[in-house]
Amino acid sequence: MAFSPKKNILGSTWEWVKSMNRRFWLLKYLVAAVLTLGVTLFSGDKTLLGYLDLRERERYIQTEIKRERTIYEQDSTRVSELKELGVGVEEIARERYLMHAPGEEVFIIKRPDSLAKE
């Protein structure tokens, strides 16, 4: 008879649950729906937070694609101009890479820091 208080508590709790079920019959469906949505949206591999993170990442990648596309278009127009003219290759080789023709001397003149800032 040591278990009678526990049985009494469980019995009264069960009676309370049954009375709540009679009064609020939609409550069990609402609780089940909320639990189901909670589990599916906030736990597991594909969650709502993961989806929002992926959307933010997609927007970032799209902006990067737009930026890189403009750079690519600028570079491709520059390359096509260089192919058409042919003179631009020599100019770039001399200015950027300090190349020179055979038998030619190149003098590099550097400005002092005070003149370069002005």
pLDDT, tens digit (0-9, with 9 covering 90-100), for 11-20:
788 788 788 7
Q: Which two tokens stand for residue 33?
A: 């729906």
| Residue keyed to tokens 């599916």 | 40
| Residue keyed to tokens 């990648």 | 61
pLDDT, tens digit (0-9, with 9 covering 90-100), for 47-106:
888 888 999 999 999 999 999 999 999 989 888 877 777 666 777 777 777 788 888 887
Q: How far is CA 33 from CA 12, 26, 37, 45, in A?
A: 27, 11, 6, 20
What pTM was estimated for this model as a whole?
0.45
Calculate the dihedral angle through the C-alpha atoms of 68, 74, 80, 83, rounding to the nearest 10 degrees. Answer: -100
Does residue 109 carry a pLDDT above 90?
Answer: no
The pLDDT > 70 percentage for the chain reads 87
CA–CA separation, 39 and 45 (whole Å): 11
CA–CA separation, 88 and 76 (whole Å): 14
The DSSP-derived string for 42-79 is HSSSS-HHHHHHHHHHHHHHHHHHHHHHHHHHHHHHHH
